[in-house]
Amino acid sequence: VIAPTALEADAWDTGLMVLGPEKAKEVVRREGLAVYMITKEGDSFKTWMSPQFKSFLISEKN
pLDDT band, residue 2 (cuts 50/70/90): very high
The mean per-residue pLDDT over the stretch 43-52 comes to 97
- Tens digit of pLDDT for each residue in 29-39? 999 999 999 99
- pTM here is 0.84
Closest CA to 23 of 15, 7, 33: 15
Distance CA 29, CA 35 (A): 10
CA distance 38 to 42: 13
Under DSSP, is residue 22 helix (H, G, I), strand (E, B) or coil? helix
